Amino acid sequence: MAEDMKPHVAFLPSSGMGHIFPLFQLAKQLALHHGFRISFIVITTEASASQNHFQSSAALLPGLSIIDLPPADVSCIITDDMRLVTRLSVIVRESLKPVKSILLDLKPTSLIIDIFTTDAIDVCIELLIPVYSFFTASTVCLTFSLYLPTLDCEVEGEFVDLPAPVEIPGCQPLRTEDLIDQVKDRKNDEYKWFLFHVSRLPYTSGIFLNAWEDLDPERLTALNENPFFKSITTPPVFPVAPLIKDGEILTVKDAEILAWLDAQPCGSVLYVSLGSGGTLSSEQLIELAWGLEMSRQRFILVVCRPTDLSAYATFFNVGTNENDPSAYLPERFLERNRGVGLVAPTWAPQSAVLAHPSTGAFLSHCGWNSTLESLVHGKPMIAWPLYAEQRMNATMLVEEVRVAVKLGREEVIGREEIERVVRAVMEGEQGNAVRLRARELKESAQRASESSVGRVLDTWKSKN
């Protein structure tokens, strides 16, 4: 088919690799397997090193063009006390100023945004371009987000002070301690920004969701059938999961990690990574290291330099935090654990590690992309949520999906608790139960991946 005859879809993710990669995976499938022409519009303001590397490799894919938005000068707008969503939203708003002229030039048949690029909706309405949202977080986060404007009208005071869990129609109650960070202080600009973005979801023509029916059937049924979600004019929800990162280009360091895994017994290694944007305090990292050592289990530990500022301190500089782990891990930790544990500064090829037969479980922050990678590869999890919606994800994975074990809720989780949970998952009956469930979900994910995007496209084309 001639290029100008192919359906042309534009994508517009916000900053941060956790938002860029899911949209890119969908874009890549449309381009490589379904004959679409893709324009992938990238916000370059305050781009991380990892984002720059992604852009250079993505530009080589056939049928897919990378469109860089010019960097915006936010130096007089961004302040040190801005929280994550506020800073992200300000960067997006400033960066999208030329997007109207870009869309006029591209003339796409539709635009796919994410939850933090909703400023583009107004432009698309003006240009008569159908706009869809790719909701990159979990189903539990989506149902809460759609319910939030109602909650905002009905509740006075802070949500965290409510005497009972939040009752989302058709869904499991949501404990106040599991609420996302962005709604825990309604006086802060971050709450106002988050409410602004989620309030605009009903203005889209549809919502793509990185989930599948067997993973969260109750909430998907509620989104499609519950009278509340119908009353707020929820757009059609298209489950397209599992879309995970694939085709990683392995570096020499990556190959060394996989070679180390090759030498370990099947299912014996605990993979420990708290996400590209997550960091621990100095005290907490020391406890984690001692807990791993005391457990006497094989492990791969991916570490970033600790910080006491915030749990998401590396969000905007992923890929730049090269460091020497011996400077902040316990003294002689590397020497004592040589052969048993492998420490990877900053980065590991996560999908390849999780796919490896020697990997037995994943100690994870429960970010949604990492969660899906773990489920697709059939690995149970130890849940260690840090920020954003990760606490609600962790509770769902432990109590509903039954594929994870959660650590304690202490401000600093002690080494004895870490040792206990690691042993339980890697050796005990609790570990056997979550391993069995993980294998079941792996099979379910494989069945879903064979049909989800194609089925969605049939529906999507008919609606357009």
pLDDT of residue 117: 98
> Residue 308's pLDDT band (boundaries 50, 70, 90)?
confident
Query: Is the confidence at residue 463, as pLDDT, over 70?
Result: no
> Residue 464's pLDDT band (boundaries 50, 70, 90)?
low
Backbone angles phi, psi at 301, to 5 degrees: -115, 115
Backbone angles phi, psi at 332, to 5 degrees: 65, 15
pLDDT of residue 232: 94
Average pLDDT, the chain: 91
pLDDT of residue 449: 74
> Residue 2's pLDDT band (boundaries 50, 70, 90)?
low
Q: Enumerate the active-site residues.
A: 19, 114
Query: Is the confidence at residue 9, as pLDDT, over 60?
Result: yes
pLDDT of residue 312: 56
Question: Six-digit token pair at 369?
Answer: 């992309």
pLDDT of residue 314: 54
pLDDT of residue 374: 97
Query: Is the confidence at residue 1, as pLDDT, over 70?
Result: no
Q: What is the mean pLDDT of residues 397-402?
A: 97
Give Dmax over CA atoms of the chain in angstroms: 63
Q: Encode the chain in three state secondary structure.
A: CCHHHCCEEEEECCCCHHHHHHHHHHHHHHHHHCCCEEEEEEECCCCCHHHHHHHHHHCCCCCEEEEEECCCCCCCCCCCCCCHHHHHHHHHHHHCCCHHHHHHHHCCCEEEECCCCCCHHHHHHHHCCCEEEEECCCHHHHHHHHHHHHHHHHCCCCHHHCCCCECCCCCCCECHHHCCHHHCCCCCHHHHHHHHHHHCHHHCCCEEECCCCCCCHHHHHHHHHCHHHHHCCCCCEEECCCCCCCCCCCCHHHHHHHHHHHCCCCCCEEEEECCCCCCCCHHHHHHHHHHHHHHCCEEEEEECCCCCCCCCCCHHHCCCCCCCHHHCCCCCHHHHCECCEEEEECCCCHHHHHHCCCEEEEEECCCHHHHHHHHHCCCCEEECCCCCCHHHHHHHHHHHCCCEEECCCCCCCCHHHHHHHHHHHHHCHHHHHHHHHHHHHHHHHHHHHHHHHHHHHHHHHHHC
Query: Is the confidence at residue 377, as pLDDT, over 70?
Result: yes
Percent of the chain with pLDDT over 90: 78
* pLDDT one-digit tens code per residue, 412-434: 999 999 999 999 999 989 999 99
Question: Six-digit token pair at 454?
Answer: 């194609």
pLDDT of residue 454: 73
pLDDT of residue 462: 62
**113, 132 in Cβ contact below 8 A?**
yes
Q: What is the mean pLDDT of residues 101-128?
A: 97
Query: Is the confidence at residue 248, as pLDDT, over 80?
Result: no
Task: Sort residue 11 into left (φ over 0), alpha (ψ -120 to 50) or beta.
Answer: beta
Q: What is the mean pLDDT of residues 286-312?
A: 90
In CATH, the number for domain 3-245+447-463 is: 3.40.50.2000
In single-letter form, the type of residue at position 62 comes to: P
Enumerate the domain spans of the chain.
3-245+447-463, 252-444
Query: Is the confidence at residue 58, as pLDDT, over 80?
Result: no
Cα gap 187→189, rounded to integer Å: 7
pLDDT of residue 76: 93
* pLDDT one-digit tens code per residue, 182-207: 999 999 999 999 999 999 999 999 99
Query: Is the confidence at residue 318, as pLDDT, over 60?
Result: no
Query: Is the confidence at residue 461, as pLDDT, over 80?
Result: no
CATH superfamily of 252-444: Glycogen Phosphorylase B; (3.40.50.2000)
Lowest mean pLDDT among 283-297, 372-386, 407-421: 407-421
Lowest mean pLDDT among 29-38, 42-51, 186-195: 42-51
> Residue 5's pLDDT band (boundaries 50, 70, 90)?
confident
**432, 387 in Cβ contact below 8 A?**
no
Lowest mean pLDDT among 140-149, 239-248, 350-359, 364-373: 239-248
Q: What is the mean pLDDT of residues 80-84?
A: 91
- Structure pTM? 0.93
> Residue 262's pLDDT band (boundaries 50, 70, 90)?
very high
